A and B are shown apart, each in its own frame.
Chain A
Amino acid sequence: DTEVTQTPKHLVMGMTNKKSLKCEQHMGHRAMYWYKQKAKKPPELMFVYSYEKLSINESVPSRFSPECPNSSLLNLHLHALQPEDSALYLCASSQADRSGANVLTFGAGSRLTVL
């Protein structure tokens, strides 16, 4: 299995809702990432988990709450979002290859619309 699977593919939520995005990989990768991508822009890093521990938080608002229940799963809990949070949310995982370079494998993304 060489894929990163994200669910749901599309999500529409109101500003008072609580929802979660899910990400799963079975490649044995020990680093997992959340990126946010707005239209016609490159992805922006939100969080990095390394060996199931949060290692990077790029000053993301607390209405986004990541969780890594085990080495294969990564969740992003959403609460009290704003319309400007509408974006494509990309999950990725990585491990170092033989050259020592960390190669990220991305999922297809979850497209979030906040009304």
Chain B
Amino acid sequence: GNSVTQMEGPVTLSEEAFLTINCTYTATGYPSLFWYVQYPGEGLQLLLKATKADDKGSNKGFEATYRKETTSFHLEKGSVQVSDSAVYFCALSERGSQGNLIFGKGTKLSVKP
């Protein structure tokens, strides 16, 4: 079956540090890949997406590239801010699945000033 594995947290960084959160997936077809972010006490917000191999999704300084050869979609940011503190979920959706998202377990990021 389809699944998403992302690095366990929590991840604690100092402001302006480089961020990488690893995400790998298993899928039978050609999924779309997403990163969602959840700030404390809130719902999920779409951070970025990629729908085919070698696509790069980007938003708010975050980037992730759809790597089919390594089945990965790692999230990166060059310089994190305190306001980036949140839980980050990697997710996939198979075409024809009515948009049902399969989530990784989530990675909590804390950024200290």
Q: Do A and B come from one complex?
A: yes
- Interface of chain B, main secondary structure: loop
Q: Which of B97, B98, B103, B105 has the most CB of A within 10 A?
A: B98
B105 partner, pick from A41, A99, A101, A106, beta carbons under 8 A: A41
Residue of B nearest to A109 (CB): B43
Partner among B45, B95, B98, B104 whose Cβ is within 8 Å of the Cβ of A31: B98
A102 with B93, Cβ < 8 A, contacts A31-B99, A42-B106 known:
yes
Say what secondary structure dominates the interface of chain A.
strand
Do the beta carbons of A104 and B98 come within 8 Å of each other?
A: no
A55 within 8 A of B: yes
- Asked if A115 CB lies within 8 Å of chain B CBs, one says no
What are the 6 closest A-B residue pairs judged by CB atoms, nearest first?
A: A102-B99, A42-B103, A101-B32, A99-B51, A106-B44, A106-B43
Beyond A33-B99, A108-B42, list 9 extra A-B contacts (CB 8 Å): A40-B106, A42-B105, A42-B106, A48-B98, A55-B98, A56-B100, A96-B99, A103-B46, A106-B36
Which B residues are within 8 Å of any A CB, using their own CB? 32, 34, 36, 42-46, 49, 51-52, 89, 93, 95, 97-101, 103-106
A-B contact pairs, 16 of them (CB 8 A): A42-B106, A43-B101, A45-B100, A56-B100, A92-B44, A96-B99, A97-B51, A99-B51, A100-B51, A101-B32, A101-B93, A101-B95, A102-B99, A103-B46, A104-B99, A108-B42
